[in-house]
Structures are given as structure tokens and as C-alpha cells.
Amino acid sequence: SQQRLFRGMRVVGTLPVGSPSQYQGPPPRFGKPKEVACFSRDSSRAVHFDRRALRDYTPPPLPVALDDGFASYVPKDNADEPAPLADVFAALAAQKQPVQPGQIVTFRNNLNKLMATPYAPSDDWEIGVHRQPGGVLELQVRETERRQREEAARDERSRRMCYWGYSFEQACTAGRAAAAAAAPRAGEYRVPSPSDPESFAHLYSSSRLEELRRRYGRERGGGGGGGGGVNANEEFCAVMKLELEQVRLFMAAEIDCRAGEPAEYVELKTSKLLEKPRDKASFERHKLLKFWLQSFLAGVPRVVVGFRDEAGVVRKLQAFKTLEIPRLVRAQGVWDPSVCLNFGRVVLEWVVEQVRRLPGAPRLLLRYEPAQNELLLVEEEGAEEESGHVGVKRARI
Ligand code: A3P
Ligand code: MG
Ligand code: MG
């Protein structure tokens, strides 16, 4: 039989994705994620194996003008993108945490992409799959050509909107004194409906808003609500041990902040205000799926959403309990958490088995191909060592 090739590389295996209904039913066993290591990156991206970059949540006074401080924003230095796993392995080693042959080490982003596939069948994605000589499986972050094109084509507004997310994180973690008492009261929150006047009232006249923007801009040093400017390089990462049925993973996840006593992790998100019925439907279908998946995987119990207007002014805060998010959308029938997890299990078990059958220390590329609605596992020919990722990305993928 003729050998199948993809971009000149040998196809090792294919797996049809099918439709969400195939993955419905009881969820697979997914143990409570257990934190086994962590690391912090400071503003110069130096790594420390401690929690120095983990910040405390304080609800910011509203409104928050997210665009403030854009001029002094230090974007993430992406010289070492896609993020290499070296820091994750070093963090595991610092805790003397053994990683066994056949176990997977990955950044969370790979699992976000993979498990959302049944509900995003037209978005392609790629993940590097490397087996170390000792048998540990690395899932490397890869950007597709499509994503690189999108990134390169970002216009001014799109770059500002990217800043808004970091600016919100800064605004929510700028407080010091009130930090300990600032747990969001999740039990009281619900998805705002367009008929809920409190959710959508524009609480301030435009002149009052201008005044507030000026004042907050000054008090906060012009930096997106935070003391000092926003530096997207600082981050705290937790490394979680996950059990998905028989699959064992060590997953590094960036953690936005913590709140409460005892402290629990909190994910921060921005989203457009829900003004039209269509906004709410889209929020539930797309945003809540992403928020749930990302937070569920790392066992982060709460997501605090800053709802912003078109100008990037947050007018409402709402906290969601991660485990309750699926129930909020169940009636709409737009997505089902079991589908993501069952699909993830099938794919990861398949990848582990495929790699197990290959000799040596293979370097493969796992790609989701929308046109065929299937996964391809191909040999990543001539792939270099960790430092060569950019070369792999530019020259071959
Ligand atoms: P929002 O998600 O509120 O827009 P995270 O929420 O995962 O902690 O990421 C924090 C912020 O980083 C995001 O805030 C967004 O501003 C920016 N960001 C993260 N991933 C991004 C991506 N793929 N493209 C553009 N911006 C991104
Ligand atoms: Mg974050
Ligand atoms: Mg966030």
C-alpha cells in the first residue's frame, strides 16, 4: 500500500474525530488535579521555583478602564516561544517528583486545544509529540501557519484588546491590604440575562466616567489599574498531576491569582458585556466552554469575569464556580463536558499507544486536519533539540 505523506513527512497514524454525539455519556474518570510543583517568572522572565509571582485577588472598584496604561505595557517576550518544557521539568526535579515512562508532560494550552476539538471542528491545531530516550512523552506547544498569520496580521485594536486581558489581571491583583478577605462569593452569581437591569445599566454618565477614568489612571500610575505598568512576562505556573482514566499527565498551567482563606486559585477573564440575546448565546456557547475547560483541567475552582464595553471599560464583575458552569449551559444543549473529556481520553490513549509502538526517541507532530475531520500523527523530520523549535516552526511546519 502507498505510504501517506503530509508536507513530505510520513504519516504514522490517523484517527477520525467524528461528531460530539459519539463522545456523550458518562465522563471518564478524572482525578482531582494535584499540584506537585510550581515556578514563578519575574519581569525579566528569570525562573524561580517558588510562588513569588502568585498574586492575591482583590475586586477592583468599578468601572475599570482597561485601555489605560497601554503606552507603558511591556508585552510578553516571545523569544523562547513556543514555550519550552525545560522549566516544567526543572520544577518537577526541584520537588524530586519522578516522571515515569509513558507519562505525559505538557502545558495546559495543548489540552485546551485538543479537548475543544469536537466543538471547534474548523480550527486546525498542532502539537509536537516527542518521546524522550527514557520513555517520558513531551507534548510541545506548536503554532500552526494559520495562527502565525493571524498573529502577524494583528491590528492596533486587536493588540489593545490583548492588552485588556492583562490589564484586567493587573486591576484585580493590585490591592494589598484587602487581599485576604477578598474571596468572590460565587454562590450568589448567575449568568446575567438581558432582562436583568442591574447587569446592563450604564451606571455612570459619560462625563462622570471620564472623570473616573482620569482619576483611576492617575492613582494607579497609569498602569491598567495596577500599581506600576503591566508586564506580561511575570507569571506563576503550577504543575498539576492529572489522571484521565489510565493516562497520567504532568500539566503546567499559568495561574492568575488566589483568593480566600484557605486560599484557592482564581482564573480571571474579560468578556464583552451581554447586551443582546445573541451576546448571551455566544458567551455560553464559546466563552463558557473555554473558561470551564481551562479551569477544570487545572482544578481551579473559580473564574472571575470582567464584563467590558466596546471601549474596554469593565462595568460588571461576576464569579462562576467552575464545576457549576456545565449546568448553566445544559438547558441550551450547546456543549457537554463529557464530550471534551471522553474525546481527550481517546486521543491521548491513542497517542500513547502509537508512540509506544515506535522505536527510539521519535519526534512526531499531532495535527488536527479540519478538512478531513481527522487527527494525523506524522514524523517531524529533522526536528532539532529544544532550542531549535523556532527553526522547526518556521522551516518545516
Ligand atoms: P482574556 O482571556 O481576558 O482576554 P489567561 O486568561 O489565559 O490567563 O490569559 C490572560 C490574557 O492574555 C488574556 O485575557 C488575553 O488578553 C491574553 N491572551 C492569552 N492568550 C491569548 C491569545 N492566544 N491571543 C491573544 N491574547 C491572549
Ligand atoms: Mg492568565
Ligand atoms: Mg486569565
Which ligand has its closest atom nearest to the C-alpha of 230? 1
> Nearest C-alpha to atom 8 of ligand 1 is from which residue?
256
| Beta carbon of 308 within 6 Å of any ligand 1 atom | no
Residue from 86, 67, 134, 128 nearest 312 by CA: 67
Could you tell me the mean pLDDT of each successive run of 10 residues in the chain, 397 residues long?
85 97 98 97 92 95 95 82 89 97 98 98 97 97 93 92 95 62 37 32 40 41 51 94 98 97 96 96 98 98 98 97 97 96 98 96 97 96 47 34
Ligand 1 atom at shortest distance from the alpha carbon of 256: 8
- Is the ipTM here above 0.90? yes
pLDDT of the residue at 176: 45
pLDDT of the residue at 44: 86
| Beta carbon of 162 within 6 Å of any ligand 1 atom | yes
| Beta carbon of 165 within 6 Å of any ligand 1 atom | yes
| Beta carbon of 306 within 6 Å of any ligand 1 atom | no
> Nearest C-alpha to atom 25 of ligand 1 is from which residue?
162
pLDDT of the residue at 79: 73
Whole-model pTM: value is 0.85
The Å distance, Cα 108 to ligand 3 centre, comes to: 13
Ligand 1 atom at shortest distance from the alpha carbon of 161: 16
pLDDT of the residue at 199: 28
| Beta carbon of 269 within 6 Å of any ligand 1 atom | yes
| Beta carbon of 256 within 6 Å of any ligand 1 atom | yes
Angle (CA) 271 83 162, round 5°? 25
pLDDT of the residue at 338: 98
| Beta carbon of 166 within 6 Å of any ligand 1 atom | yes
| Beta carbon of 270 within 6 Å of any ligand 1 atom | yes
| Beta carbon of 57 within 6 Å of any ligand 1 atom | no
The Å distance, Cα 333 to ligand 1 centre, comes to: 26
Buried b (16+ CB within 10 A) or exposed e, 295-310: bbbbbbbbbbbbbbbe
Interatomic CA distance for residues 270 and 306, integer angstroms: 5
Which ligand has its closest atom nearest to the C-alpha of 108? 1
